Amino acid sequence: MTFPERFSNLPEYAFPRLRSLLDAHAPGGEPIAMTIGEPRHAIPDFVGPILQKYLPDFGKYPPNEGSPELLAAIAGWIRLRYGADLGPERLMALNGTREGLFDACLALCPEVKNGEQPAVLMPNPFYQPYAAAALAVGAEPVFVPAGPETGFLPDYEGLDPALLDRVGVAYVCSPANPQGAVASYDYLAGLIRLAEKHDFVLLSDECYSEIWRDHAPVGALQVADEIGADPERVLVMNSLSKRSNLAGLRSGFVAGGKEAIRRFRQLRAYGGAPLPLPVQQVSAKAWSDEAHVEANRALYHEKFRAADKVFAGLQGYQAPEGGFFLWLPVVDGEAAALKLWRETGVRVLPGAYLAREVAGHNPGKGYIRVAMVAPKEEMQRGLILLRDCLYG
């Protein structure tokens, strides 16, 4: 049997890798899970009644691109949130943002760029499907450091112009996973102009956009619209997973230029999994309702304040601007995660598992990612145990 080599260099995914590191050891206390970005706040009250009302629609094939009601709700939210007016031909429903972030690269990255193998840019650390998507299209994944020296966002503008000329797709995530950094208006405007100059597509991962501390993050659609950029240059992905605590609903969307969305729809018609109609009805309601989002954000504000209090005075601690992760400095993330588990039962993710080694350096090695998703009291107890174990 001959197997393909294109994915042979992918490391084991972060969470199986974490189980291999920790599960052979007994926890040092009652386990507290602070690893995966799975919201644990209550789901909105309207979910159950809507599912019940439309239960018979599970027997129907749903529209692949999204129902008119769902696309209208998404367009309304984009208009309210970012001031951009998009017709349904510029939108498509997704089975979560992971699908979109992977498949957009397949749909839009060229086979050859200026006579050479195309490159796909991504921050380092990063959301792991970016790298798999690059390999799937035969492109070179280029891991660009996103550490404290660049404000935890990748400096694509500082790359060699020769490299930029063969870029087909570039990923950006704001608020950043795992660091919590938020891209400014000027940063996004610079990236979009860079994409126009070097003829590539910017894929903006904005699934943490509604969990922010002081100011609502600007979005790439808003910036592109306001600077008059070609709409085909930018595709934005978002979902209800973090915004509405509906990770299991697997409901998201992609927004972009008409031609980019047409091509994406064409690909998805062959291999995508459309959202069931009852799920689309729930999603339409969720995108149309802000009350539950504001209540959810208020809970995270309490957690931000609790984390600030726990880590007050800790050198290197930086409160996230958005998202719900702490990106905490340690000497070695794996060693810290293992020590923490064995001595306290608190379970966190080594930062190196979210990054790649480049030129002998893994920019995630000196960090751990801590998800603030548990109820406040449990989260606070876990943070205190973490602080006393690793920084006491």
**319, containing H or E segment:** none
How far is residue 240's CA from residue 383's CA, in Å, rounded to a whole number? 27
DSSP 8-state symbol, 96: S
Name the residue ranges covered by the structural domains of the chain: 14-42+292-390, 47-288
Residue whose C-alpha is closest to residue 153's, from 170, 166, 169: 170
Conformation bin of residue 359: beta by default, left when phi > 0, alpha when psi is -120 to 50 = left
Query: In the structure, how many helices (H) and strands (E) does the chain have?
Result: 14, 12
- Split at pLDDT 50, 70, 90, the class of 302 is very high
Identify the pLDDT of residue 88. 97
Residues 34/379, Cβ–Cβ less than 8 Å: yes
CATH topology of domain 47-288: Aspartate Aminotransferase; domain 2 (3.40.640)
Identify the pLDDT of residue 54. 98
Cα three-residue angle 119-112-263, rounded to 5 degrees: 90
Mean pLDDT of 281-291: 98
DSSP 8-state symbol, 168: E
Identify the pLDDT of residue 185. 98
- Split at pLDDT 50, 70, 90, the class of 6 is confident
Residue whose C-alpha is closest to residue 188's, from 163, 156, 146: 156
Predicted model pTM:
0.96
Residues 386/370, Cβ–Cβ less than 8 Å: yes
Which CATH code fits 14-42+292-390? 3.90.1150.10
- Split at pLDDT 50, 70, 90, the class of 11 is confident
Instruction: Report whether pLDDT(5) > 90.
Output: no
Give the pLDDT confidence of 46-63 residue by residue, as tens digits: 999 999 999 999 999 999
Q: Parallel, antiparallel, or unpaired for β 201-205 and 252-255? A: unpaired
Residue whose C-alpha is closest to residue 132's, from 108, 155, 98, 164: 98
